[in-house]
Structure 1
Amino acid sequence: MFTSEPVVVIQSAFIYQNERIVLNDVNFSINKGEFVFLIGRTGSGKSSLLKTLYADLWLQQGKAKVAGFTIETMKAAERPFLRRKIGVVFQDFQLFMDRNVQENLMWVLEATGWTDSARMKARVAEVLMQVGMSTSRDKMPHQLSGGEQQRVVIARALLNEPQILFADEPTGNLDPEVSGQIIELFHEINKAGTAILMATHDFDMIRKFPARILKCENGYVKEQPQV
């Protein structure tokens, strides 16, 4: 059933890193298909906020709903079901270095409940084509450049047709030219209907691809005017 409900809603939330509050009284929502930048200095709480939204950090205080899942009451056994509805793109890739590209992606499908081998291989081929990596299926991660590895990571995040991608400094380890290509890829994915919340400190990118901006500053998250 189609619903116009936002894909992310967070209300009166306090974000903790260990025992320390890093963000106070966080309130915002993200609609389906929206592109949002999350900016702020290193240590301002961007990563902790993202980790809370994809249920890697426990939401101790406040409410959040992501892709229809209630985060503050989520049990560990429910996390895999949330992960089928969202995608996460990390700065440091987190690929299995002892498996080729296809095996890395097949592992994710197995972990999220896929069982039909032919369908799984077809889905892997689809997402690799989507990110421009269809000829690299049999390569090992060490045979790929940083930009190519990040494309594989994005393909991995797209496997289950997520409602939203959470991207944590996805161009942080890439040179400017490759960064631009990766951001263009995110915009293509967004145009196809996937919402994106991207943490970044790359202001050139924000100027080139204007979108809604949330800023973590002095322990709060505030809406910012577009650059």
Structure 2
Amino acid sequence: MSFSGEPILDIRDASIFQEANTVLSNINLQVGKGEFVYLVGRTGSGKSSLLKTLYCDLPLRMGSIKITGFQIESIKRKDVPMLRRKLGIVFQDFQLLPDRTVAENIFFVMKATGWKDRAKMKSRMQELLMKVGLGAVSTKYPHQLSGGEQQRVVIARALVNEPTLLIADEPTGNLDPEVSDGIFKTFESINNSGTAILMATHDFKLIENYPKRTITCINGQLEDSAAVTA
């Protein structure tokens, strides 16, 4: 895989662990700025463990990972929040706060990452909701939204700090195909504006309809479609 400039993600000779078990061994992967890459593999193949290692939810015990300028193997605990500000993270199960409105869910992330100016926060919140096609839901609670709408709120929340890389772990896993298609087009729009995306998915219909570089977790290794087609 060739791309200009320094990669946004550079994994070298890394092994990924889930508790005491090695799930991926001696892996190497580079993702360029502005790329869109699928991460696929069977349940238990290491997809989620790899993603959790990237945002320091799991420790990196072997090898080297540089992501958005941070060296994961030597990162200090106090710097992890700064790393996560440069990453957007979208989960399958939404993880919205049920007792807070959409606006309050987004403000919660803003406050946690250092935003203080209320007017700027409100303006950014409205801009993000418009970007994901939800301009009129700021006062609603999560239970008042459909699954697709909730996932769009999660995407908006992940974009608060203009991340250079968006990590999505099965973002359409709980959605029906039509809704999944709309969510994917939102990700494509975000990617077209310059944000790199690494998306773990089981949705092979999505991959068939929107083919892109695909990394497969298989037998403890990573297989890269770009290496096959290069």
Normalising by the smaller structure, the TM-score range is: over 0.9
Partner Cα distance (1:127, 1:76) in 2: 29
Partner of 2:154: 153
Q: Residue 190 of structure 1 aligns with which residue?
A: 191
Rounded to whole Å, the distance in 1 between the matches of 2:161 and 2:41 is 30
Identity within the alignment, %: 58
Shift of 1:207: 1.0
User: Counterparts in 2 of 1:139-218, with a 5 A limit?
Assistant: 139-218=140-219
User: Following superposition of structure 1 onto structure 2, how do residues 17-28 of structure 1 map, counting pairs within 5 Å?
Assistant: 17-28=18-29
SS at match of 2:38: strand
Count of equivalent residues: 224
Letter in 2 for 1:221: L
CA-to-partner distance for each residue in 1:53-74, whole Å, 9 max, x for gaps? Answer: 1111110100001100111111
Distance 1:94 1:143 in 2: 15
1:204 match: secondary structure: helix
Does residue 114 of structure 1 match 2:97? no
Whole-angstrom distance in 2 between the partners of 1:191 and 1:208:
17
Structure 1: 4+ residue segments shifted above 3 A = none
Partner of 1:78: 79
Gaps in structure 1 of 5+ consecutive residues: none
Amino acid at match of 2:152: R
Cα distance between partner residues in 1 of 2:124 and 2:71:
28
SS at match of 2:17: strand
Task: State the 1:83 CA deviation.
Answer: 1.1
1:6 CA displacement? 0.9
Map of 2:133 onto structure 1: 132
Deviation, structure 1 residue 123: 0.7
**1:222 has 2:226 as partner:** no
Tell me the CA shift for residue 222 of structure 1. Answer: 1.1
CA RMSD of aligned residues (A): 1.1
Unpaired stretches in structure 2, ≥5 consecutive residues: none
Q: Indicate yes or no: 2:56 matched with 1:55.
A: yes
What is the aligned partner in structure 1 of residue 9 from structure 2?
Answer: 8
Cα shift at 1:75: 2.0
